């Protein structure tokens, strides 16, 4: 499953939101990746996620493959969209 998501949270390049994204991705059994033009990283890797240049208002593609892929994409989309 793949979905393009608009980033609506602030301070995306700070360690805390990136750490939260990794925690969210890690709770799913599916493989989860985040992709921006020219780069695709494992969303469960803190170092990989920190290498992305995430900015509020930017777009990122969330990809998941596995038994709970839909839930994984929805969970990450909710976080990036600022949905509590």
Domains of the chain: 2-80 (3.30.1340.10)
Helices (H), 27-65: 46-50
For range 64-82, the mean pLDDT: 96
- pLDDT by residue (tens digit) across 36-68? 999 999 999 999 999 998 888 999 999 999 999
Catalytic residue among 7, 16, 39, 62: 16
Nearest to 67 by CA among 25, 24, 29, 23: 29
Cα separation of 1 and 69, whole Å? Answer: 6
Active site (annotated) includes residue 10: no
pTM value? Answer: 0.89
């Amino acid at each position: 499953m793949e979905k393009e998501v608009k980033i609506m949270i602030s301070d995306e390049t700070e360690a805390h939101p990136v750490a939260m994204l990794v925690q969210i991705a890690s709770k799913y059994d599916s493989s989860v990746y985040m992709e921006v033009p020219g780069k695709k990283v494992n969303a469960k890797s803190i170092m990989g996620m920190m290498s992305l240049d995430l900015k509020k208002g930017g777009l990122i593609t969330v990809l998941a493959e596995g038994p709970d892929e839909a839930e994984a994409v929805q969970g990450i989309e909710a976080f990036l969209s600022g949905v509590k």
